[in-house]
Structure 1
Amino acid sequence: MNQDLFNYIQNHKSEIFDRWLVLMNDVETERIKNIVSEQVYVNVSSDFVNLLLAKAFRDQENFAEELEEVVGRVVSLGWPLAYLTQGVRNLGHVVVEGYVNSEHVKADQTHSELFYRFDKWLSPIYNKIVEQYSNSWENTVMLQKVALQELSAPLIPVFDKITVMPLVGTIDTDRAKKIMENLLQGVVKHRSEVVLIDITGVPVVDTMVAHHIIQAAEAVRLVGAKCLLVGIRPEIAQTIVNLGINLNEIITKNSLKKGVEFALEMTERKIVDIESEE
């Protein structure tokens, strides 16, 4: 990249950014602007463009770290990769076209030649952005998966010696393992005598799901507690019967309320209406 082009970029940063914003209106910006305010969009875009332009003046030692930070912000905001990749391309177009139309360009320099040179300079940065976005996205997905797993099978103490595990959504093999782990750890931690597994929010109970529940109940029994299965809706009960699934070893109730009442009885307690006692 020649010195005249360097000078043009340095003296026209504001103009370059404004023209870049106009070009970027075609890159899913409507969806992006529905997520964040106009000011946030402009601020993030300004940081991104200024970082790329600053790279043109010096080989920044901390460029990778700063780029990682900007890309991380883009990922956290839920913006598409196209915003960054097309942003790099559009910056090349804006800089070269602006330079060609300025008084700095030399007569022997063609538009295609200038664009080729500038695009060649941008290519490594383009590849770095794709790599950073991919890494940041994978890291975000991994953290979300871990968080969802932690929230997918919570064991909640509701009374002394009584805990409840509410299950919501589809139960697959990985989640079943998490349920088993949380059950066993929670029973010991809370010194539970009765555990209620609430399947009100489980849309489908098939043979595999029932098998996992039976295994969980057996594991709870082995550590000295009893398991109640609650929240069995009529359609779920019909499915269990049609599939020939044997739940004879598990106490079942059709609602969490009835399950809690029965669990209290099992621990020699009950809910008392104060007004009736008076």
Structure 2
Amino acid sequence: MNSVIKDMVLEHKEDITDSWLKEISKFRSDDMLQNISDKMYENTNLEFVNILILTVQKTNEELEHDELIQFVEKLIQIGWPLNYITRGLQEFRKACVEIISNREENSHNNLEFFKKIEDWIDDIVNLLVTQYSGSWENTVFLQKMALKELSAPLIPVFENISVMPLIGTIDTERAKLIMENLLEGVIEHRSQVVLIDITGVPVVDTMVAHHIIQASEAVRLVGAKCILVGIRPEIAQTIVNLGIDLGKFPTKSTLKKGIESALELTQREIVELKK
């Protein structure tokens, strides 16, 4: 950073801060910031602008390891939108140019001055957007891995009876994993009846139903029977409205009823012991 520009920014930092805080307060009504308390929003804004002003004294290499990066990582962790970062930086650029132009006579119509300000803020924008994108991609990757780890285990509950609880949204990639786990589990546990529990699936549309039908057909081909359980009223209504045919295999509203049906299919039942 040019030493003259640096001195100008530091000299007028209070005016720049006041101007920026006034403009950034207008973002408070954004939907993605509604759940944040007023006190936290004000404190975060003040911390952000103070850190931005300090960057005028640092090189790009120093920026990559300073508290600005730590600040952005904190925002990512608590779920602040990227839009807050980018709009905040644009307002900060505007505040710097307007305040310094009005206060410094030698800055008027000085293209070099404007270019230095632009370059300084552009470096920060590029750094923070890259940091935000990288952290977001890493978070999404970890969530996908966690989902895979939790996804579709086949659990033996009785001899020859297994349950596969499904939780969350089912996409094509996850449906493939479900199918693999299902077939491997049926063979490994020698299951005669498999209960596919969709209680934890928020939405059953045509694609999800198609995947479930494919899974049940695959189970039938390896010599086992499939029962779909966890049919909530709203799910049943959706299935009917979409014209999805689930008539090829039994359905039950709850896992308890499904287990009772599975026991019947394997010539067993649960009885109470007499005292």
For normalisation by structure 1, the TM-score amounts to 0.71
CA contact (8 A) 1:153 1:179 kept: yes
User: Unaligned 5+ residue runs, structure 1?
Assistant: none
* Residue aligning to 1:209: 211
Q: Mean alpha-carbon deviation: is it higher for 155-164 or for 137-146?
A: 155-164
Cα distance in 2 for partners of 1:24, 1:228 equals: 57
SS of match in other structure, 1:203: coil
> Could you report, residue by residue, the CA deviation over 1:205-235 in whole angstroms, capped at 9, with x for unpaired residues?
678435522354147x47xxx4431337598
1:41-120 alignment, distance < 5 Å: 41-59=41-59, 61-66=61-66, 67-102=68-103, 105=104, 107-110=105-108, 113=111, 114-120=113-119
Structure 1 residues 262 and 9: CA distance shift in structure 2, 3 A:
same
Distance 1:268 1:205, change over 3 A: same
**Could you say which residue in structure 2 is the equivalent of 1:10?**
10
> What is the CA deviation profile of residues 121-168 of structure 1, one whole-angstrom value per residue up to 9, with x for unaligned ones?
222222223333332333333333334444453445555664322346
The verdict on how the C-alpha distance between 1:7 and 1:160 changes in structure 2, with shifts beyond 3 A counting, is: farther
Q: Is the 8 A contact 2:183 2:219 kept in 1?
A: no
Question: Structure 1 stretch 38-47 or stretch 86-95: which is displaced more?
Answer: 38-47
Select between 173-182 and 201-210 the one with higher mean Cα deviation.
201-210
* Aligned partners of 1:230 and 1:254 also within 8 Å: yes
Structure 1 234/46 Cα, relative in aligned 2: closer, same or farther at 3 Å?
closer
Partner letter of residue 257 of structure 2?
Answer: K
In the alignment, residue 85 of structure 1 is paired with which amino acid? T
CA distance in 1, matches of 2:161, 2:127: 53
- The SS at the match of 1:228 is strand
**Structure 1 CA distance for aligned equivalents of residues 205 and 82 of structure 2:** 36
| Cα 1:59–1:177 shift into 2, 3 Å | same
Match in the other structure for 2:38: 38
Aligned to 1:144: 143
Q: Deviations over 1:245-275 (max 9, x none)?
A: 884xx6x24343332013335666532345x
Aligned to 1:129: 128
TM-score by length of 2: 0.72
In the aligned structure 2, how far is the partner of 1:24 from the partner of 1:127?
Answer: 20
2:79 and 2:123 map into 1 onto residues whose CA distance is 24
- Residues 61/131 of structure 1: CA separation in 2 closer, same or farther (3 Å cut): closer
SS at match of 2:165: strand
The C-alpha deviation readout for 1:160-201, integer Å capped at 9, x for no partner, is 664322346775432221112333455578786643113565
Residue 174 of structure 1 aligns to which amino acid in structure 2? E
User: Per the alignment, do residues 115 and 144 of structure 1 end up closer, same or farther by CA in structure 2, a change over 3 Å counting?
Assistant: same
Match of 2:228 among 207, 227, 230: 230
Equivalents in 1 of 2:240, 2:93: separation in Å?
Answer: 64
Q: Distance in 2 between matches of 1:160 and 1:112?
A: 83
The answer to whether the Cα contact below 8 Å between 1:27 and 1:82 also exists between their aligned partners in 2 is: no
Match of 1:163? Answer: 162
The 3-state SS of whatever aligns with 1:18 is helix
Q: Residues 50-72 of structure 1, C-alpha deviation per residue, up to 9 Å, x if partnerless?
A: 33322211226442244444333
Q: Distance in 1 between matches of 2:268 and 2:45?
A: 62
Kindly state the Cα deviation for residue 21 of structure 1 after the two structures are TM-superposed: 1.8
Q: Post-superposition shift, 1:34?
A: 1.4
Structure 2 distance, partners of 1:160, 1:43, is: 60
8 Å contact from structure 1 (residues 5, 99) kept in 2:
no
Separation in 2, partners of 1:16, 1:158:
66
Residue 31 of structure 2 is aligned to residue 21 of structure 1? no
Identity of aligned residues (%): 40
Q: 1:204 to 1:99 in 2, by over 3 A?
A: closer
Q: Deviations over 1:57-109 (max 9, x none)?
A: 1226442244444333333444333322222221122223333444xx3x333
Aligned residues: 263
Report if the CA contact (8 A) 2:164-2:195 is conserved.
yes
* Structure 2, unaligned runs of 5 or more: none
Q: Are residues 154 and 15 of structure 1, via their aligned partners in 2, closer, same or farther at CA, if it must alter by over 3 Å?
A: farther
More deviation, 48-57/195-204 = 195-204
